[in-house]
Amino acid sequence: RTARFTLDPAFTVGDVNPRLFGSFVEHLGRCVYTGIFEPGHPTADAAGLRQDVLDLVRELGVTTIRYPGGNFVSGYKWEDSVGPVEDRPRRLDLAWRSTETNRFGLSEYIAFLKKIGPQAEPMMAVNLGTRGVAEALELQEYSNHPSGTALSDLRVEHGDKDPFGIRMWCLGNEMDGPWQTGHKTAEEYGRVAAETARAMRQIDPGVELVACGSSSQAMETFAEWEATVLKETYDLVDYISLHAYYEPLDGDVDSFLASAVDMESFIENVIVTCDHIGARLKSKKKINLSFDEWNVWYLSRTEAQVSALDWPEAPCLLEDNYSVTDAVVFGSLLIALLRHADRVTVACLAQLVNVIAPIMTEPGGPAWRQTTFFPFAQASRYGRGEVLDVRVDSPTYETKKYGETDLLHATAVRAADGTVTVFAVNRGRTESLPLEVALGGLGLDSVVEHSVLSDDDPDARNTLAEPERVTPHPAEGTTLDDGRLSAVLEPLSWNVIRLA
Ligand code: AHR
């Protein structure tokens, strides 16, 4: 059977905020050290930043980059990470049972963003695990105040004359999680988040603040947590965060391929929770969603790895090597974000390099693209503009976790110049999926490109030995005649169809 949908310029979801293509750099494993930062590497600049990695980061098209954690931030002392490198202390990082040298810190992070280019924007998390309001304010003053106070002058003395201009701030990280250093109940967190937000706005009413939502939809406290936190913070914050990671459990690949069903319901459930609190408070304000950690992550393999560590520096941790199947799920997660672009206005792919990342590096050696690199780069490049409302009529398949699920998952984005890009996933593992799209009223008459990521071997991956084993290829036979697009989506595939 054929999957179908109709695109009409009158039916839209909303504009894509460039911040939807954010990412995340945490002091975790080799994300920073031997990832983005490796003094002595043949491509490193004077600041120790790997140029081969920077080139790939630019190609990936990331915008906002969240920093410095993650679980790491709940023990983070920002003062350790500034000033002369030789004076910076070594510290225990409780989150990842590692030793943090602080050779890379706040100033280096800002310099890294500048090197990426103007599209890169900071998103800084404050520690509300072991610390509180005072330290958040100190970090804000050090970072953003021009000069003439002890902390802003200290930044100038440290060599950063210009303020960092950090606009987006996360009020802690995953404070609902019992694994979090300084884990809190919703009531406790709601209070400290509100106090911190109020004080940070006293320094600068223009900051954009993210309150911690749930670490996943599966958390026992989900929804009640958001409601409680928002009752305290509704007028003080701009966003609530969502985090979600997916992996195949018990070999159930069919459910894994449908992971975006969970992601979409998570988003929709958070929206209704936010709007419910807004209604109770008789507020006209809408809270937007910051999906500031999302990815495929083989999390069940990680816990044992971390507990076996004996405080090494930058160990190999969470270095998942992604297959074609993983990339198709990953693409479907991107589609889920785009389909909710009216309310999900920030999203961060966790993470950027080496740690559950689209970019991998060898210390002293090359950097390469994982399979997941391609869907992200294509979505960031062609997914800018207005999301069109896509309601699919698709054949279905049965999954253990989500019941009957559409084989087709799709969205479409109309750029300012009127061109349209369809992003589509065929979740079917064995059969091709014919697709027909009615494009009435869009004034399109040609297929510019139909790019596919698929492989005869769904387990194929890119590695140091074979870094270009998997790359997108052109599809055959895609046509656009009389306002009707016809294509065939290969089994288990991520598709980008560009129309002009
Ligand atoms: O991204 C890896 C970890 O996942 C982050 O540190 C934490 O916030 C989440 O649990």
Nearest to 25 by CA among 293, 376, 281: 293
141 is catalytic: no
- pLDDT per residue over 358-374, tens digit each? 999 999 999 999 999 99
Q: How confident is the model at residue 303 (pLDDT cuts 50, 70, 90)?
A: confident
Cα gap 113→168, rounded to integer Å = 14
Work out the average pLDDT over 402-409. 98
Counting from 1 in the atom list of ligand 1, the atom nearest the Cα of 350 is: 1
Cα of 197 from ligand 1 centre, angstroms: 23
Query: What residue type is assigned to position 323 of the chain?
Result: S
> Are 424 and 365 in a shared domain?
no
Out of 195, 264, 293, 490, pick the active-site residue.
293
Best of 72, 96, 173 for a ligand 1 pocket test (most atoms within 8 Å of beta carbon) = 173
> Are 293 and 318 in a shared domain?
yes
293 is catalytic: yes
> Are 277 and 409 in a shared domain?
no
- pLDDT per residue over 322-381, tens digit each? 999 999 999 999 999 999 999 999 999 999 999 999 999 999 999 999 999 999 999 999
Ligand 1 near 174 CB (within 6 A): yes
> Are 89 and 107 in a shared domain?
yes
Nearest to 330 by CA among 353, 354, 352, 358: 358
165, burial (CB in 10 Å: exposed 0-12, middle 13-18, buried 19+): exposed
- pLDDT per residue over 5-59, tens digit each? 999 999 999 999 999 999 999 999 999 999 999 999 999 999 999 999 999 999 9
Strand partners, 450: 497
Q: At what angle do helices 224-233 and 186-203 cross, to 10 degrees?
A: 30
> Are 356 and 404 in a shared domain?
no
Ligand 1 near 399 CB (within 6 A): no
Ligand 1 near 354 CB (within 6 A): no
- pLDDT per residue over 157-183, tens digit each? 999 999 999 999 999 999 999 999 999
Cα of 299 from ligand 1 centre, angstroms: 10
Q: What pLDDT shows up at residue 422?
A: 98
Nearest to 383 by CA among 411, 354, 406, 360: 411
Counting from 1 in the atom list of ligand 1, the atom nearest the Cα of 69 is: 6
Number of domains composing the chain:
2
- pLDDT per residue over 121-138, tens digit each? 999 999 999 999 999 999
Cα of 156 from ligand 1 centre, angstroms: 32
> Are 265 and 403 in a shared domain?
no
Cα gap 368→197, rounded to integer Å = 40
> Are 246 and 319 in a shared domain?
yes
> Are 139 and 38 in a shared domain?
yes
Cα of 162 from ligand 1 centre, angstroms: 31
> Are 378 and 393 in a shared domain?
no
Contact 72/26 with Cβ under 8 angstroms? yes
Alpha-carbon separation of residue 152 from 142, 145, 147, 156, 169 (angstroms): 5, 6, 5, 6, 18
Counting from 1 in the atom list of ligand 1, the atom nearest the Cα of 177 is: 10
Identify the CATH number of the domain in which residue 355 sits: 3.20.20.80
> Are 378 and 394 in a shared domain?
no
Cα of 28 from ligand 1 centre, angstroms: 9
Out of 26, 174, 226, 490, pick the active-site residue.
174
Counting from 1 in the atom list of ligand 1, the atom nearest the Cα of 24 is: 1
Ligand 1 near 75 CB (within 6 A): no
Domain boundary among 359, 382, 405: 382
Cα of 181 from ligand 1 centre, angstroms: 12
> Are 461 and 348 in a shared domain?
no
**For ligand 1, atom 8: residue with the closest CA:** 70
Q: What pLDDT shows up at residue 440?
A: 82
Ligand 1 near 172 CB (within 6 A): no
Domain that holds residue 200: 17-382
Domain boundary among 361, 382, 403: 382
Q: What pLDDT shows up at residue 304?
A: 86
Work out the average pLDDT over 254-260. 98
Residue 245, Cβ neighbours under 10 Å: how many?
18
Work out the average pLDDT over 227-253. 98
Q: How many helices (H) and strands (E) does the chain have?
A: 11, 25
Instruction: Look up the ipTM and state it.
Output: 0.99
Work out the average pLDDT over 235-250. 98
R_g over Cα of the chain = 22
Domain boundary among 331, 366, 382: 382
Q: What percent of the chain has pLDDT over 90?
A: 98
Cα gap 284→281, rounded to integer Å = 9
Identify the CATH number of the domain in which residue 454 sits: 2.60.40.1180
> Are 325 and 442 in a shared domain?
no
Q: State the DSSP H helix or E strand holding residue 480, giving kind and residue range, or none if neither.
A: strand 479-481
Ligand 1 near 71 CB (within 6 A): yes
Ligand 1 near 487 CB (within 6 A): no
